[in-house]
Structure 1
Amino acid sequence: MERNALLTAGAVGVVVVALVAAAVVPGVIADPTDDGPVRPGPVDVAGVSIAAGQATGETVTLEIETRIDHRGNPTQNVSVLVRAVDAESGLLTTTQELDVGTLSKDGETATTTNLTVPREGGYDVEVVLYSDDERVDEARKSVRGVSAIKPPYLQSTTSFTDSEALPPVSFAIAETGEDRTTLDLTATLTNAGDDPAEDLSVLFVLRQAESNIVASRTTVDAGTIEAGRTETVDASASVPNDYNYYIDAVLLRDGVVIDTARGAANLNPTRTISVNQTREDVELRVEDFENGDGGDAPRETAYEPTETTSSAPGFGPLVAVVGLLAAVLVARRWSK
């Protein structure tokens, strides 16, 4: 009897202790519906796109958009590593890491990373996706011609025309003198934008084709060119006769070069040049391009004619006599 009572009291004590432990320490008794730790859902790189951001004279910012696809359970500690590698040298140019955090919704999440690179050449952009510091996916995309991305001060809707009917640079002979010719120069500009173009000027530079000597230089104001309009800018220049010239026209806005064009003026009737023609050597008189009328002409040196004599080796009279005596002696010896 006492033994049964003792066993009953012990069983009741065990139950009481278990109930107290379950109340004080949650989780001591396993939940039969618990399947264990939650496995994070899969993530991968759905796509990469590159856009041009802010540009300066030396650098340009590439805006890298990475779309991350997530499915299933929440995924924690997601991050993206983006780096730009020089396409020509293969050297790493810059690296940027972005912490995405936790992804819980199904679908794509877009992230943007900015990389500032030199404004030249091209780059291979590599995107690496991490989950809990473990690489889970990666993608690569290339961009070329970064130098074509212009900073704001180089951007313009106005440029020289590119047409045979309206050549960008043309000229006409206004006056011909004994030593110099005056040319009327014309540059044709088109504003392809939606707003008027202002503060423009055109610099004309005439260079002798074979020597590259600058014969004339002048700058004229281009005024205001309305949207969608084509206008001409006129100037005049005086250059020496009997030479061929390249006419370089430079479009400027507040001292910044916006566009350039080239024409050719053939004032030498015996030789002609074109914009893309190979140069040839011609007689050049530098004094024609000097400022003023000064300049000494090359001196000619006169030389008086002189007479020269020359002799060639041969048999003189003395040698002939000696030979005759030797022949007589030989004949007498044979006769004896």
Structure 2
Amino acid sequence: MEKRDRKKHFILILLLVVSFTVSAGCIKDFEEGSNYGITDIEMSADSVKSSYVDLNVTAYIENRGADSKGNTTLLFKAFRQQTGLLEVSEENEVGVIEEGDTVTVSQQIRLPREGSYTLRLDLYEDEQRKASSSITIRNLEAMQTDLQEIGLQISGMDFMVKNVTSGKVLIESDIYLKNEGSKSTENYRMLVKAREMDARLLADKEWTDTGTIEPEATAIRTVSLTVPDDYNYAVEVSIWDDDVIVMTGEDYVQLNPEKVISKEEEVQNKNIQTGDFIVEEGFEEPMATEETSESASEAAPGLGSLMTAGIILSALLVIRIKSRRGKDE
């Protein structure tokens, strides 16, 4: 029984060691009779786009024996794990590696932003393979795309109704663009679209420019969109660098919002008079004038009449008192 338990423990430890070796990603492979070894592989993402990833791969090559007899070459190959097919192959000239030296070789490779890959590195000297190593690349689709590499951030949107005519609403959209980079931005093209939220139909779209924005500054770009009344819309903003979308943002305008009533979660449409929200040019709040006192007196009708009646009653009372005194005398 004790021998069986020891055997189980040995198998468990062996599985853990194998699992750790595979999950570490880098598997060393030294050729017999070779003085060379690829001791480490480092990777970093130079750029992450919606469809591909540019990886910077750095290999550390060590010469543990005599000086290399000829020029050495490092070959980078990426195989798709699902199919085993070769996806990318790049070659980098290393040159002569002296005894005891460790050199670094960097190479950029571009891979589709999907699936898993095995990256294999082979070191050749005079067309003979001297060392090899491999590393596994997974979950590229989980990497965040660098849409904000231009420095711009869509920090918010405001909407105003400018006109309502024949079932059409003119909406003025203010888009806030903030430069979070360390230098002035370039002038990019910006597309603003109003899309109906249920049917996803496009109601209107307009092109404009972002303009040049200084570091840490926020600029407002205004676009007018005309849409049918009584619908809800998603206002979509996309910033273009030539034919590439580098930034996106979205906000909502609800001309026919809904509210939840009763315990049964019944949905009821809220009627909004869009014309009530029209913002006229040059609109200012009226200033208070001296006529306020007059309007205040007018707001209390009958006050003057009461005062007059009081005076008359007082006079009559005085006359009556005097008449009584006269009779007593």
TM-score normalised to the size of structure 1? 0.55
Deviation at 1:113, TM superposition (A): 4.3
Q: Return the alpha-carbon distance in structure 2 between the equivalents of residues 244 and 61 of structure 1.
A: 40
The equivalent position to 2:75 in structure 1, one of 74, 81, 93, is 81
Greater gyration radius: 1
The equivalent position to 2:250 in structure 1, one of 247, 262, 282, is 262
| Matching of residue 138 in structure 1 with residue 126 in structure 2 | no
Q: Which residue of 2 aligns with 1:124?
A: 118
Q: Tell which deviates more after alignment, 74-83 or 53-62.
A: 53-62
Q: Which residue of 2 aligns with 1:108?
A: 102
- Secondary structure, counterpart of 2:78 in structure 1: strand
Deviations 1:247-302 (A, max 9, x none): 11122344542211111111114479xxxxxxx9x9xxxxxxxxxxxxxxxxxxxx
Q: Return the alpha-carbon distance in structure 2 between the equivalents of residues 255 and 271 of structure 1.
A: 41
Q: Which residue of 2 aligns with 1:94?
A: 88
Q: Which residue of 2 aligns with 1:214?
A: 202
Q: Which residue of 2 aligns with 1:303?
A: none
Determine if contact 1:41/1:74 at 8 Å carries over to the other structure: no
Q: Return the alpha-carbon distance in structure 1 between the equivalents of residues 253 and 218 of structure 2.
A: 23
- Secondary structure, counterpart of 1:105 in structure 2: coil
The equivalent position to 1:243 in structure 2, one of 231, 242, 251, is 231
Q: Which residue of 2 aligns with 1:69?
A: 62
Deviations 1:162-183 (A, max 9, x none): xxxxx3x332223334522221
Alignment of 1:107-186 (within 5 A): 107-115=101-109, 117-121=110-114, 123-129=117-123, 133=128, 135-142=130-137, 145=140, 155-161=149-155, 167=156, 169-177=157-165, 179-186=167-174
Deviation at 1:145, TM superposition (A): 3.3
The equivalent position to 1:195 in structure 2, one of 183, 192, 195, is 183
Determine if contact 2:193/2:236 at 8 Å carries over to the other structure: yes
Alignment of 1:301-312 (within 5 A): none
Which residue type is aligned with residue 61 of structure 2?
Answer: I
Q: Which residue of 2 aligns with 1:204?
A: 192
Deviations 1:74-108 (A, max 9, x none): 35455533211225544211334556565432131
Deviation at 1:135, TM superposition (A): 5.0
- Secondary structure, counterpart of 2:191 in structure 1: strand
Deviations 1:228-247 (A, max 9, x none): 21222112222221111111
Q: Return the alpha-carbon distance in structure 1 between the equivalents of residues 181 and 108 of structure 2.
A: 29
Which residue type is aligned with residue 153 of structure 2?
Answer: S
Deviations 1:162-211 (A, max 9, x none): xxxxx3x3322233345222212121211122221232233221122222
Q: Return the alpha-carbon distance in structure 2 between the equivalents of residues 101 and 206 of structure 1.
A: 59
Which residue type is aligned with residue 225 of structure 1?
Answer: I
| Matching of residue 49 in structure 1 with residue 28 in structure 2 | no
Using a 3 Å threshold, how does the CA distance of structure 1 residues 255 and 170 change in structure 2: closer, same or farther? farther
Q: Which residue of 2 aligns with 1:310?
A: none
Aligned length in residues:
227
Superposition RMSD in Å: 3.9
Unaligned runs of 5+ in 1: 1-39, 162-166, 273-279, 283-336
Determine if contact 2:118/2:134 at 8 Å carries over to the other structure: no
Q: Which residue of 1 aligns with 2:214?
A: 226
Q: Return the alpha-carbon distance in structure 2 between the equivalents of residues 58 and 268 of structure 1.
A: 37
Q: Return the alpha-carbon distance in structure 2 between the equivalents of residues 213 and 158 of structure 1.
A: 28
Q: Return the alpha-carbon distance in structure 2 between the equivalents of residues 197 and 55 of structure 1.
A: 20
TM-score normalised to the size of structure 2? 0.56
Q: Return the alpha-carbon distance in structure 2 between the equivalents of residues 191 and 91 of structure 1.
A: 43
Unaligned runs of 5+ in 2: 1-32, 261-266, 270-329
- Secondary structure, counterpart of 2:256 in structure 1: coil
Deviations 1:9-53 (A, max 9, x none): xxxxxxxxxxxxxxxxxxxxxxxxxxxxxxx77321121123556
Q: Return the alpha-carbon distance in structure 2 between the equivalents of residues 131 and 170 of structure 1.
A: 65
